[in-house]
Structure 1
């Protein structure tokens, strides 16, 4: 499949069908993408278009509410809820990101053992009382993208020459976070250091991004040290390696800088899913074949690493860090 971008497009149809040859081919393609640019698109990913359309419509309806109304579902210490303009500043950025977003995670009741134990970021979602339709639309999307993420990680594992099911027992109670994101048009007179999202790498394992037709996502190409566009490709998700997977692979896989510049003059919407392991899952490069002599990183619990990164970038966490 051709594209107007050097970022590769990988077909998951055969992976989802359980075809061994397709799994091996997708594994090779993902390995090549992740050891070079760190980004790729996936198509035939299994998330129904109707589910995507419903989530997009819900996002547009939610962000159209006045900010005072949206603040009734303001982000809480579990990193669930609404973040207004200025609530997030990427590390080393001079200005807060020019975006609003609403975050959800795995829906867990207050009497869940991990919630009762005080495990960070765990618990029920902070659904808005003013828009009851958001919950079914966004959580259906959350579940569908989670199933896609599980399929995708089988190909990732195959590309790393480990068992295709390597990641499955490390995702039994996943730390998946899904965010609806709204980017207002950036004012024409915006300074060069004002971004929809400032240059950054993602914290976790893999990110699956749906983006509307407006565009604005850019990726830092390492080879010639330039920014290239990651334009919308119909029927696709954009996938990138996060810092946790780069660490897990002992930097064989590349976690690449990316940013959003919404210079279109139009509103932009996206839905980002950070598909991350169970909180206590050990992230140890030796489990993915790194020798003791070559080891760059000591083992870390996935959740502890992600929590530390969230604390560094979210304004509300800096004020009230747990």
Structure 2
């Protein structure tokens, strides 16, 4: 594990996807250290082709350049799929909405899928814009590739937690993965101190994998000093962080850390965030990871129920449904 002009750990995933046992043990140990000390780290050699990343980022720039009246064709629906307009997200305890737009997709499921027919929240087909047919290929391909990286990462997370590397596999049979292209306009020059691109928050789910451009702006609340540090962009890397569900699952052995975005670059900032989360009904219970019930800090919860509540609490459009 190393650092590059940052306090966040840098973890090399080389050999993990190929099934190298030594690589798995090494990465697991490095993840254990990073997640117990700060909850954030970079990964390189993660297996997502750079061409796939570049295509998705290019598509994001094209999509967000369309005027609002055009993007409104795919305005966010009850499944949390589609375009979220500027000002549509208010993080808990924040005083102002986030200064961002984003476009969200999930696992592509037809209307006759059993989970959809059963009325499972957040499930169904994506909303793809007719005005930009190329987006489905670019972002859909990224979704699948980043999902593979998430599955690889969870094998190492399991090893870092001292459990079988395959522990998470049957918890992800129909993953609740959400991938979002995010657009941050330049930070308003006269903005008040409580205006953020994304206000300080912890993520809701298990793990987040983020690709960011070179604008900077992502900051992490360092646990040891209680101060904000920059997650400086590193070419080709993904930023990974622990979400609340994994913190609960691990009985806080792994930390879910506050982070925020302030785009002071003077130009637009783009990123693609993926919340790699379990099947809706997967039980998140620290006791399943060997925690004594007497010392467990959290009662079992269905992954999807927890995530849905957090989305309901933070997204303005949910209040109108």
Q: TM-score range by the shorter chain?
A: over 0.9
Question: Match for residue 250 of structure 1?
Answer: 251
Question: Match for residue 94 of structure 1?
Answer: 95
Question: Match for residue 264 of structure 2?
Answer: 263
Give matches, 1:54-203, under 5 Å: 54-203=55-204
Q: Deviations over 1:134-160 (max 9, x none)?
A: 001001000000000000000000001
Q: What secondary structure, in the 3-state scheme, does the structure 2 residue paired with 1:13 have?
A: coil
Please give the root-mean-square deviation of Cα atoms over the aligned residues, in Å.
Answer: 0.7
Query: After TM superposition, what 4+ stretches of structure 1 lie above 4 angstroms from structure 2?
Result: none
CA distance in 1, matches of 2:57, 2:225: 35
Q: Deviations over 1:43-86 (max 9, x none)?
A: 00000000001000100000000011111100000000000111
Unmatched segments (≥5 aa) in structure 2: none
TM-score, length of structure 1 as denominator length: 0.99
CA distance in 2, matches of 1:297, 1:2: 33
1:119: Cα distance to partner? Answer: 0.3
CA distance in 2, matches of 1:176, 1:282: 16
CA distance in 1, matches of 2:6, 2:204: 25
CA distance in 2, matches of 1:17, 1:215: 32
Question: Match for residue 45 of structure 2?
Answer: 44
Q: What secondary structure, in the 3-state scheme, does the structure 2 residue paired with 1:42 have?
A: strand
Question: Match for residue 298 of structure 1?
Answer: 299
Equivalences, count: 320
1:293: Cα distance to partner? Answer: 1.1
TM-score, length of structure 2 as denominator length: 0.99
Matching of residue 227 in structure 1 with residue 228 in structure 2: yes
Unmatched segments (≥5 aa) in structure 1: none
CA distance in 2, matches of 1:305, 1:292: 20
1:294: Cα distance to partner? Answer: 0.3
CA distance in 1, matches of 2:4, 2:313: 36
CA distance in 2, matches of 1:196, 1:251: 28
Q: Deviations over 1:216-236 (max 9, x none)?
A: 000001111100000111110
CA distance in 1, matches of 2:18, 2:269: 34
CA distance in 1, matches of 2:258, 2:39: 9
CA distance in 2, matches of 1:175, 1:239: 17
1:26: Cα distance to partner? Answer: 0.5
Q: Structure 1 residues 258 and 2 mapped into 2: Cα distance closer, same or farther (>3 Å)?
A: closer
CA distance in 2, matches of 1:191, 1:261: 12
